[in-house]
Structure 1
């Protein structure tokens, strides 16, 4: 038996045993729950067991060898590399937020699935095999060699820009993953959100800090198994519950017509119309207060003070006085604060006043122009996600870990297969959960709300993930009275479907695995870029292998803590952060990578101009159209949302690269020969 075949059989045996033991662990917890074990202890056991597992793999895989640390020794079999890449790819945005996006936005949410899946096909066809044939450690390595040569030479500016792009893209992406870690840890252990972030960070660091790509790879294979089991079990249960068919990918087509019928009923329901009218009235009141500033702010503050004084004079009850004190303390401190607070409240009320998005209707709009704008944004987002996926450094790095170019191509097939097992289930989950909520929660009695509502409302008391308030006072839950954050949907699915709590713990473990697996890869991409491309290639080319690995580990530690701090500030929702990362990756790296492989005339000046031009246009558009920074719909070009800024950044980068290359001297014979080498038949 050959060594590769023996290695593959040994790995297969290990992971089959792991899967069997994980199944026994689930059965044991289910038995303990039936015997009365408290839910909080089940959550603790899941968190402790999975984090201990990842830490154990990290310790076993520890290494100081450069090849093992950066590229897992280039000996990962295609099947297992496919599983590891799928785990790296199925991030918190995919596992936690994507089904929630489909629930909230209907057809428009499919842009993420189409863009991400199509993007990996682009990476497989245009970039990944050629990077493996090049045979280095990082993406900046390829770009520096292709566009100018070795360390300190003409490739140094290209390398520096590529490192900057890798750091910005990966850091933006990793903040979203660490935010998800905090969300899951706080829900299932009861710790504070910020504490949960740093608990999860410990697991990330053990794998990536000790073992680098080697430790991350074998941890990600285990994480993929957990992700798959965690996602399929509750979805299959809901599928059987609502369609009498355990295959959700097939069954949810039968549920869609029933959901459409229920949506139509709710659109005509008089009580729903009453609640939406109340929200419209609130929005109009906020608009009036905004128009009357600063007098409205002063009048409201004086009224709150007078009410408190009156209650104290007539010796009202302590609860009434405390409520009046809280109202006065919470009143905006300045007219500027009032403007921001009331504008947010008006926007939220207007959103709640609108009828819900129909699940299966493409690009709904009040008129043809609105519908066309939504279609254009859908296509622009698909474009950005596809090209951003094909240029993500932490995904492309995995093409370096296989034994040959052929193994890389086979690995790409397995990655797509393993990703699609989850991605084809996500739309089904969104439809099944939506139908369950629309048919069971809506219309129920407020006095008998399910326990999961209270659980999730208390995870983050400042920004509740779910809220239900009896707006019209009839004691019955209306759809417009439910405010649900898309990030909570998948994690709450087992409780929504009435499954045992042990399945909730399983889903949390799956979400944690998705966030940790991607965070591991992203942090390693950042630290490798800094240690290998900056320190070794540009600062100290004579550094020993031991010193290079040590520097990488120290940098990884520092970046991880900075990312955790930023995530604890909750800068945005998960999908928004991830979308920004993809637009930046597409605009900055995709043109240089693809033309570096397929156009011999592309040169150093073109690469510099293309990366800087694409990044500048993309970043400018994001900033100029961001409402928080004073932008808005009036600043958008052709009505394109800021999340799709790459639709302008990519053409700008391509044009700058082509023009600068044509207007300057052709590349050296070495660079041209490199293109011939990486495109030559195997």
Structure 2
């Protein structure tokens, strides 16, 4: 067996080696930005957000059944090489552009995840952490052989699974004694249901953000769920690092599919662990709420997510207090100046600051003055609990000043950060999530090499490699680090949008184009451009100019009567405003209404589909373009 690759004909005949290929593929298949947030997503919305796990699992199955066998059959080692071999350079370039556009946001989300986890678990500053992660990912992509990288990916996946299993076992033992958590999961769900009913009866929930754990289609409609699962499944199926890993198991479709089956099995181990972990975590957290825990004696497991800005109580956090203290020490005592300082750290923090009651902001500023810059974590905790929370509770009407579901917002990654203290696991367990995220980042960087070389080599290091291979491998990860430095707060949405674009641009040509003998180069290019273009337009249209998008496509929107009336009222106010300030305020309200918020959908959509799930429109467009253009153009072999 060659040391340069994990997959050869000899390997294909050995079941253990094929299983290792599947394990390695699992380690580089799924973005950690979604996997690390998955327990928190399920915690927040119950069964609805299991769609974030079902989609990737289906994608691995599709990659093993359809995509990787087609790539292996044409003798290619990567997606760009398969496009080059089957449809020529123009199609390979078009596919390469899509892969770059997919890799950039995925890398951004992975690096931001690394920065957040490193800051919370190791105390490393966020910016240096993402720079180091970007450098390491570049080094791994260039220096490691395929064989070494395959082993690294396998180890990373095992570490990730262990990082989920240990807190799960400890949480289950706290509530049910020494049990197998996956088998006792049903009892945990019953206990969660009882706690939810108790919280509802005592008025401790906010129905706008509350979802009954076992009731589906409360936060996501059936159509939303379908669109999300499809977008994730088709996007994961065409991930370049996954396709290459599976295709390395030989040219026979049966052996490639066997490796895909192993990969799906390993990923399933993660996905059956996540719902149980979310349920047992909810038992602990809702139990504290049902016990009327005073805000003055917050559980210690909230300290880490509050300090990372991944949990908020009545809109405040320790991270906000810390940054306000630094701003006040620098002489910024005006709330507007403090808002600008917070915006430089994270736009989401600025928005929360501006949404706070004036009395709450004053309390935070007073506490910040007493603390000064460089306050210890213990001093921050005491000031937050003793000064900030009483003011925040009073402003929110929380007269009992207790921890409630309405008061606490726990972001998806916040649950991950809280797991060590919540379960009693050692804090270093979070380190098990850093290597998998780094492997995914390095795998994406390695896929850029194939794009730059147009698939002409299988090895990450080769003599005479064109300068563009090095340039692309450096530029994209560094650009991603630059975007990650802005601390984007919607990492899951960024990841879904990127996978959606990959699905729309590549799935039709890889699933049908490589298998259909009548497919032409012109058809492949049309499929890539139209599929990707439709999805890009849908996503950017809703996120960047939502009001204009709604006006253009109003008949296709699922907007209700009252929302439409409000939109028309705001349009009139913006048109007839007597001052620039009034016009700007009305136009901003229009954009927000059209775009929607995390808790309510906007008017700008087609049939109510979320902007990130635009692949459900792009993929059919790509299939149609591939078929129609191929039928009216000649194949390369038919041309004179």
The alignment's TM-score, normalised by the length of structure 1, stands at 0.69
In the other structure, the counterpart of 2:308 is 459
- Provide the residue aligned with 1:642 in structure 2: 611
More helix by share: 1
Deviation at 1:477, TM superposition (A): 1.3
The yes-or-no answer on 1:524 pairing with 2:442 is no
Residue 483 of structure 2 corresponds to which residue in structure 1?
566
Confirm or deny that 1:218 pairs with 2:151.
Answer: yes
Q: Hey, what's the Cα distance between the residues in 1 that align with 2:618 and 2:467?
A: 36
Correspondence for 2:229 among 362, 382, 390: 382
Q: Distance in 2 between matches of 1:79 and 1:661?
A: 38
Which residue of structure 1 lines up, in the alignment, with residue 428 of structure 2? 505
Q: Which residue does the alignment assign to 1:168?
A: 101
Aligned residues: 501
Per the alignment, do residues 551 and 645 of structure 1 end up closer, same or farther by CA in structure 2, a change over 3 Å counting? closer
Q: 1:259 & 1:628 partners in 2: Cα distance?
A: 41
How far apart, in 1, do the equivalents of 2:90 and 2:250 lie? 31
Of stretches 106-115 and 658-667 in structure 1, the one that deviates more from structure 2 is: 658-667
How many angstroms does 1:611 deviate by? 0.8
Deviations 1:358-393 (A, max 9, x none): 11101137xxxxxxx711100111111111121111
User: In the superposition, relative to structure 1, how do residues 627 and 354 fare at CA in structure 2: closer, same or farther (>3 Å)?
Assistant: farther
Deviations 1:23-42 (A, max 9, x none): xxxxxxxxxxxxxxxxxxxx
Report the alpha carbon displacement of residue 236 of structure 1 after superposing the two structures with TM. Answer: 1.6
Deviation at 1:140, TM superposition (A): 1.5
Q: 2:212 aligns with which of 352, 358, 362?
A: 358
Alpha-carbon distance in 2 for matches of 1:91, 1:74: 29
2:241 aligned residue (374, 394, 398): 394
Distance 1:459 1:184, change over 3 A: same
Q: What is the Cα deviation at residue 646 of structure 1?
A: 0.5
Q: Does 1:557 align with 2:411?
A: no
SS of 2:217's equivalent in the other structure is coil
Residues 233/580 of structure 1: CA separation in 2 closer, same or farther (3 Å cut): same
SS at match of 1:426: helix
Q: How does 1:206-285 map to 2 (within 5 A)?
A: 206-244=139-177, 246-270=179-203, 272=204
Distance in 2 (CA, whole Å) between partners of 1:384 and 1:664 is: 30
Contact 1:532 1:548 in 2 (8 A): no
- Within-5 A mapping of 1:20-31: none
5 Å-filtered alignment, 1:314-325, equals none
Matching of residues 582-597 of structure 1 within 5 Å: 582-597=499-514
Q: CA deviation at 1:456?
A: 2.5
Q: Which moved more, 1:521-530 or 1:198-207?
A: 198-207
Is the aligned partner of 1:88 residue 2:5? no
Aligned counterpart, 1:145: 85
SS in structure 1 at match of 2:519: coil
Partners of 1:96 and 1:491 within 8 A in 2: no
Q: Quick one: which of 514, 517, 520 aligns to 1:600?
A: 517
C-alpha separation in 1, matches of 2:484 and 2:66: 33
TM-fit CA distance, 1:199: 2.6
The alignment yields a C-alpha RMSD, in angstroms, of: 2.8
Structure 1 residue 394: Cα displacement: 1.7
In the alignment, the residues of structure 1 paired with residue 35 and residue 181 of structure 2 have an alpha-carbon distance, to the nearest angstrom, of 16
Q: Which residue of 1 aligns with 2:74?
A: 134
Is 1:546 the counterpart of 2:454? The answer is: no
What SS does structure 2 have at the residue aligned with 1:493? helix
Unpaired runs of 5+ residues, structure 1, are: 8-60, 62-66, 148-154, 277-352, 366-372, 538-543, 671-682
2:124 aligns to what SS in structure 1?
Answer: coil
2:337 aligned partner: none
Larger Rg: 1
Residues 82, 412 of structure 1: 8 Å contact kept:
yes
Bigger CA drift: 209-218 or 597-606? Answer: 209-218
What's the CA shift string for 1:47-69, capped at 9, x where partnerless?
xxxxxxxxxxxxxx9xxxxx66x
Which TM-score applies when normalising by structure 2? Answer: 0.73
Do the aligned residues in 1 keep the contact of 2:65 with 2:260 (CA within 8 Å)? no
Change (3 A) 1:654 1:118: same
The 1-side partners of 2:251 and 2:83 are apart by: 20
Q: Matched residues in 2 for 1:90 and 1:386: separation? A: 11
Go from structure 1 to structure 2 and tell me whether the alpha carbon gap of 1:266 and 1:628 turns closer, same or farther (over 3 Å shift).
farther
For residue 538 of structure 2, the aligned residue among 621, 624, 635 is 621
1:203-233 deviations in whole A, cap 9, x for unaligned? 3233222115333212112212211221111
User: Deviation per CA, 1:401-447, whole angstroms, max 9, x where unpaired?
Assistant: 33453542332222112111111101111111112100125521222
CA distances 1:343-368 after superposition (whole Å, capped 9, x unpaired): xxxxxxxxxx6251111101137xxx
Instruction: Answer yes or no: is the 8 Å Cα contact 2:71–2:77 preserved in 1.
Output: no
Inter-partner Cα distance in structure 2 for 1:143 and 1:431: 44
1:125 positional shift: 1.3
Q: 1:72: how far off?
A: 7.7
Tell me, what secondary structure is at the counterpart of 1:483? strand
Q: Deviations over 1:582-607 (max 9, x none)?
A: 11111100000111233211111111
Indicate the residue corresponding to 2:565 in structure 1.
none
